[in-house]
Structure 1
């Protein structure tokens, strides 16, 4: 059956998918490979904000206590913060500020998380924590201007509903931290955006209790945030994990949950930011490297903007060290890119989305169709995936009648990634999974990572182009259609390209 695409836009396509992207801890941005990777992502995709952990952890050196004249003092140092934020802004991306983790000199305990030991205990002094928050925000405003920093959402902590990320998952202690932090931020300037509670899946009732708390205490809140993942418990193997997956539709369910929970209450209508999402919550799950991941997430990118104001892919790069330094180029990292800028299939899903128009024509279970201001029509289509482990569908067909106006024909450019095409992970496996590819191997992997492209001139009938897209295993494809204006000179004859035919002596 062929789907008829309407000729008139049904609305604007949300770009909530590009509002924010995740990153490894803040200090990693000082490294060359990180900045090279982010520059590539910004050229070809163009995210607006970036969020990661560790702004206030010891590695950034912001909180530096010292003794002088028999008294304790604190110097707030922003040497590294300035370098990181300067680099971000030069690349056209703004911080989505996450306040955490606890500096060791201000921590009430020694519990840490991750290989790099972010402290996850409450502050030993809420007054000193408030001073730290005020100093940080005041510095950012002084360096970058109030009008700029007003556009940076400020989120309080990360996943406090998990014992690994907040000591004992103490909800009352988090509420106290949020209250102190929100007031400290608003004391600097009331127009700054502050929100939370940045919860992980599994403790959804935290959101409603957070809403009750801030309402009863008149605590400022400008947005709410949570995370979304669909993977099951980790099945550990050396240097990696395997996990089951629930259907991708459950990601959309999680995206929409905050609005459903807050409907009818005082926080109804606040922006909802999904500040982390992916298939797996582990940075060592090989699913992230595969074409499966791209096809799995395609319907989420296509529809997620109807449910949340942003949803931030976790993360843009494999430059990420929560479970230690990676031991191989492909290691199941979260990134759209590996180290050394090898593109994964999910990278291309995002790059395809970046080439789509902003006028939504139609959306279906396996396709998204848009138009831009020039009249160019774009079709994103994806093959279905089976999270139960069944064989990938090969030969899935998407049939569309696409409106193109009064032209005689349309030029079609098709770009595809799948199990066999545009898939550096497959090439790496066939190469023998070299842990540290030498330069020639890296060149091969980068070439293998590029989408396969084809082009055709398609006839039009009654203002429509008939598309029949047959998709390979776990394929995601982008079709770009532009009306042809034929400027072939009247004397030209392609059959004479070898000099044969009329006029030969």
Structure 2
């Protein structure tokens, strides 16, 4: 990336692959003949709404990773992304077992029964998981699931032994079945919430989100839709009895772009509005927020990965449309329970070559571009988007850069985590971004970024005395990436001078993967190499505190951003 003040720059040569030059400093770096030119105008007076931290939500299957070495380290990093609380959603919180972790599996042994069939509750495992979150100021999205072995209508086989390369449906074993007794199920939930209120305090528990199950419209639930409604009713009733002001939501169903998933979401919402409650016999069910999932669909074309953001955004669009169609629900908060480039975090590149995007800058630029669309879609459909869960965490004791969908590998942060660090720095109110030559929201929803033109655009926020601008240069096909020349015009800045800083993610900045490859892609990493990789995984500041002259409220800059690059500019006055 090159950034320069067009009116105040003089000509000179400065060494380095990435330069940020302001005011009277000069920059000269070759501008490639085929690069795209993008003209972006941002007016500090054109506020479009609040900048809600929809990005500050993360999740993972393996709940027991929470208490492990690298899991704790990563959660500590996520917790300090910004002053906004970070929400964490995990599967398998009620599974029966010994607490040993495996891919797509965890257990806490929270519920068993004695010889007379009476419940035995043991909160040690779930407490250990929630303790790690609460101690860091994080907020659990407490997923009520899955079915304890003693309550399952088909308990055997119970624990699955899935590995990459094995058919995915093999994960759906005894934990996915309805309960033998819905009253026992409700009492389990009641005792759990009651215990949490006693341990953490009512005020703390009221700040969490509770939800019932995960993707009950597919193999995660081996009952009918009506039986899921009963499962929800008994759980929601139990949550409210234990803590009346607790927040409960659902159905966390799969992407509603799929007609059957859309029908499930509609039926669930209708049940919550006026269906007969299986637990109370009354009309309707408690619902404080609505959740569904949205996934992209990468493929391999000509031996290269091609991303597809369109299907992910179509999930979001149809979900928002469905929520908006319910007059009494359309203002409820929406949490997109999983928002990812595809559907299997634990599926590695070895067996799924379309997942080769995960280690480098394709993942980081996709994340910046896709999350930015959520704000526009929420405004279009007039819904209350609260958050979007990135189903990406870490995989303990796995090979380095094995190609899992994760934020860090063996304690080393990947480039994608630095996008969330950028989001975390932004604050204030969102500003309108005028970029007439970029792809429109509808073009991306319809066709993603498959053509010759990359998707270059920005997200901007205005704080009390600072302006933040995140810019990305994204393409679905890495072979079509190209450097973009961006002319940036900032208007109505209420000052005569400012200081500017910049941060960058590209092949050579904020990129531990590039450094790891330069080290020879080692699987045995020395202490010195670990320190080098750890530093490379942090968000890199390109320049800071440079003085900028503002002429009649205007700043004009030109910057060059590499393909799949993401940069954050911060102007302070």
TM-score by length of 1: 0.84
Alignment of structure 1 residues 73-472 onto 2, 5 Å: 73-109=118-154, 110=156, 115=162, 119-163=175-219, 165-167=220-222, 170-201=224-255, 202=258, 203-214=261-272, 215-217=274-276, 218-232=284-298, 244-246=306-308, 248-265=309-326, 266-283=328-345, 284=348, 285-305=355-375, 307=378, 308-315=385-392, 317-319=393-395, 326=398, 328-340=399-411, 342-363=412-433, 366-373=457-464, 375-385=465-475, 387-407=476-496, 409-450=497-538, 451=540, 453-455=542-544, 456-472=546-562
Shift of the 250–433 alpha-carbon distance from structure 1 to 2, 3 Å rule, reads same
Give the count of matched residue pairs. Answer: 462
Please give the secondary structure, in 1, of the residue aligned with 2:236: helix
Please give the secondary structure, in 1, of the residue aligned with 2:204: helix
Shift of the 395–158 alpha-carbon distance from structure 1 to 2, 3 Å rule, reads same
Say if 1:113 and 1:120, in contact at 8 Å, map to a contact too.
Answer: no
Give the deviation of 1:473 after TM superposition. 2.1
How many Å separate the matches in 1 of 2:321 and 2:553?
42
Give the deviation of 1:78 after TM superposition. 0.8
How many Å separate the matches in 2 of 1:446 and 1:414?
20
Shift of the 288–258 alpha-carbon distance from structure 1 to 2, 3 Å rule, reads same
Residue deviations 1:56-96 (CA, integer Å, cap 9, x gap): 012212102112xxx22221111122222222111010111
Query: Which range moved further: 18-27 or 33-42?
Result: 18-27
Shift of the 134–124 alpha-carbon distance from structure 1 to 2, 3 Å rule, reads same
Residue in 1 that maps onto 2:91: 53
Give the deviation of 1:180 after TM superposition. 2.1
Say if 2:54 and 2:388, in contact at 8 Å, map to a contact too.
Answer: yes
How many Å separate the matches in 2 of 1:232 and 1:448?
27
Shift of the 189–410 alpha-carbon distance from structure 1 to 2, 3 Å rule, reads closer
Give the deviation of 1:289 after TM superposition. 1.9
Say if 2:297 and 2:312, in contact at 8 Å, map to a contact too.
Answer: no
Please give the secondary structure, in 1, of the residue aligned with 2:112: strand
Say if 1:345 and 1:423, in contact at 8 Å, map to a contact too.
Answer: yes
Shift of the 234–130 alpha-carbon distance from structure 1 to 2, 3 Å rule, reads farther
Shift of the 44–178 alpha-carbon distance from structure 1 to 2, 3 Å rule, reads closer
How many Å separate the matches in 2 of 1:37 and 1:383?
27
TM-align CA RMSD: 2.6
How many Å separate the matches in 1 of 2:489 and 2:403?
35
Shift of the 448–191 alpha-carbon distance from structure 1 to 2, 3 Å rule, reads closer
Please give the secondary structure, in 2, of the residue aligned with 1:226: strand
Residue in 2 that maps onto 1:26: 63
Shift of the 27–242 alpha-carbon distance from structure 1 to 2, 3 Å rule, reads farther
How many Å separate the matches in 1 of 2:469 and 2:512?
24
Greater RCO (CA < 8 Å, at least 6 residues apart): 2
Structure 2: unaligned runs, 5 residues or longer: 1-37, 97-106, 164-170, 277-283, 349-354, 379-384, 439-456
Shift of the 207–346 alpha-carbon distance from structure 1 to 2, 3 Å rule, reads same
Say if 1:18 and 1:47, in contact at 8 Å, map to a contact too.
Answer: no
Give the deviation of 1:262 after TM superposition. 3.0
TM-score by length of 2: 0.75
Shift of the 234–473 alpha-carbon distance from structure 1 to 2, 3 Å rule, reads closer
